[in-house]
Structure 1
Amino acid sequence: MRAAEIRETGRPPAVAERDAPVPGDGEVLVDVLAAPITPLDLLCATGISYFGKPATPYVPGVQGVGTSGGRTVWFPTAAGMAPGDGSMAEVAAIPEAALVELPDGADPVLVAALGLSAVAAHMALTWRGGLTAGEQVIVLGAGGVVGQAAVQLARTAGARRIIAGARSPAARERAGRAGADAVVALDTGDVAELARRFADASEGPADLVLDPLFGVPAAAAARTLRPGGRLVNLGGSAGETSPIDSATLRGKSLRVLGFTNNELTAEQRAEAITFVAGQAAAGRLAVAHETVPLEDAATAWLRQGEGKAEGRIVLTPRPAG
């Protein structure tokens, strides 16, 4: 079978012929239709992640969509985090208990592009953030996959107004396409100026901030929250620390909450994937993405890592249908 291999950490994968995997106890073979290149894949392959240096060669891909036993399924892997291969191959051996059957009409490539990023957006908004109908939400990093999904899922959950924050013009355009009511440019490191922009875009104080950025944007958005408002952090791409001031936290009795998909049970993750796939199949959820043949994995990997892709790149080892 054809597969992408990380042969040396810090370098893109090479596509090569490999023996097809042999399923172990409790595993089944999945014919892979779609394998996204995610930030976690890129991080693990550096060899300097908190998971440690992976044994090479290995097939990357921490999630994918394929077919098994006549079903179209989403599946996770531990590639790059633990010994074993991932989704960027024509065939993968996956524990059967980890498969999540997708609803009729779900596009394998779109579900792969959404994947665990959309799960994070959904669960951070609802399970962790407690979003209820009629609330006003600020979504930071709204041009990324998590952010685009969060804008749409907040709408599905009944948010009355959604303010997006994004850095580049292209990211702001994606946030607008996702359906944000207003889009704020995160192009300054001035907390007070960003807070003013959020306040101007809001209709009164915000109830909830979804924050995959931290840093200055989180500090600015926090100033826009109502008393008792919530900020849910699920990333630190704008900074590992944030200048959120004590007066804002204490004066408004704010709740700052952390979220990671790693705390979800297998059942919660499966339910969230099913929900996300259902929303996608119904035409209520989509993110910017592009499809690239597995043969072009190396160049796709570099473009994704350098931020030169139009959204999430999804590799297709074999055509759907």
Structure 2
Amino acid sequence: MQAAVVHVHGEAPAHGERPDPVPAEGESIVRVTAAPVVPLDLLCASGTSYFGAPAVPYVPGVQGVGVVEESAVVALGTKVFFATSAGMAPGDGSFAERCAVPDEDLVVLDTPVPDAAVAAIGLSGVAAWMVLTWRAQLQPGERVLVLGGGGAVGQAAIGTARVLGASRVVAVCRSEEARGRALAAGADEVVTVAAEDFAKQLTEATGGAVDVVVDPVFGELASAAARLLAPGGRLVNLGGASGDEATFSSAILRSRSASILGYTNNAITSDQRRDALTAVLRHAAAGEITVAHETVPLPGITAAWARQSKGDTTGRLVLTL
């Protein structure tokens, strides 16, 4: 079968051939139609992640969309979303024509949302939904600040906050292009980091207080956002795109009974993942949750990988097969 294959840690995968997968007990075979290129794919392939260096060669791709070709639990021809542990555990991922997937990691899809759009939303949408509903327990009328608002998680979080009844959603972005994506996702206002008076603009945009911060970046932006937490406010971190450390004021946290929380998709159950994705796609079908994306055919994987590593994208890159 055709596939994208990592041969050397730290180097982009190359388009080539890979043996067709053989399902083990409790696995199904999915014919892949779309698979997003996400930061976790690059991290795992680098060989430097906390999961350890994966054995090479292997096919990356931690999530995808496709049609079931062989299964003991799902009818053949059923459209599914699926997650994989490619790069985190032995085995190949979704950047191939076919993929062997544990039955528990299949999510049956019943949605008019196109496959590429489902792939773009994918686990980013799951993370946004679970951060706001499960970790932050967002209440109608609360105010939300989304850091990294132009990224996939950020866009999904903006839309999710809106459908959950947030009274105001402010986003922080690093570029004008990202600002446009955040506004298209439904942000009331967007503050660009590059602004000379960033701190002032952020305070004015939020009114000086927010109830929930969705933080996929950490670093200095998380430090600044934490100072805006209202009494009972919650900052939920789910990534470290801007650094692994942040500084928080003990006085602010204590005086406002504010909380700093962590989140990872690896901590939720398959049932939670299914329910979250189903909910997100229901709102995506109504145009309420969107993630900007562009499609790239599988043979273009090497160039797409390089673009993702440089941040040279106009949205989520989705491989189509």
Q: TM-score, normalization: structure 1?
A: 0.94
Aligned-partner residue type, residue 82 of structure 1? A
Residue type at the aligned position of 2:306: L
| 1:200 matched residue in structure 2 | 204
Kept in 2, the 8 Å contact 1:195–1:224? The answer is no
Q: Write out aligned runs for 1:1-321 (5 A).
A: 1-68=1-68, 69-187=76-194, 194-203=198-207, 205-317=209-321
CA contact (8 A) 1:195 1:221 kept: no
Instruction: Determine if contact 1:215/1:242 at 8 Å carries over to the other structure.
Output: yes
Moved more, 60-69 or 274-283: 274-283
Task: Provide the C-alpha distance between the structure 1 equivalents of 2:27 and 2:268, rounded to a whole number of angstroms.
Answer: 22
Give the SS at the match of 2:261: strand
Which amino acid in structure 2 is aligned with residue 81 of structure 1? M
In 1, Cα distance between equivalents of 2:17 and 2:238 = 37
- Between the aligned partners of 2:159 and 2:248, the Cα distance in structure 1 is 27
Measured in 2, the distance between the counterparts of 1:164 and 1:287 equals: 15
Amino acid across the alignment from 1:137: V
Bigger Cα displacement from structure 2, 291-300 vs 99-108? 99-108
2:30, 2:100 within 8 Å by CA — same for their partners in 1?
yes
Contact residue 152 and residue 316 of structure 2 kept, 8 A: yes
Maintained 8 Å contact 2:227/2:249: no
2-structure distance, mates of 1:215, 1:10: 24
Q: Between Structure 1 and Structure 2, how many residues are aligned?
A: 314
Worse-superposed segment, 46-55 or 238-247: 238-247
Q: How far apart are the structure 2 equivalents of 1:147 and 1:139?
A: 6
Gaps of 5+ in 2: 69-75
Aligned-partner Cα distance in 1 for 2:178–2:212? 21
C-alpha distance in structure 2 between counterparts of 1:18 and 1:263, whole Å: 31
Q: Which residue type is aligned with residue 78 of structure 1?
A: S
Residue type of the alignment partner of 1:32: V
Q: Residue 90 of structure 1: CA displacement?
A: 0.6
CA distance in 2, matches of 1:277, 1:44: 27
8 Å contact kept, 1:72–1:101: yes
Shift of 1:19: 2.2
Match of 2:72 in 1: none
In the TM superposition, what whole-angstrom CA distance separates every residue of 1:59-96 from its partner, at most 9, and x where no partner exists?
11011000011211001111111110000001111122
Residues 70-129 of structure 1 show CA distances to partners (whole Å, capped at 9, x for unaligned) of: 211001111111110000001111122321011231211111111111111110011100
Distance of 1:66 and 1:139 partners within structure 2: 31
Q: Percent identity?
A: 55
- Following superposition, the deviation at residue 282 of structure 1 comes to 2.3
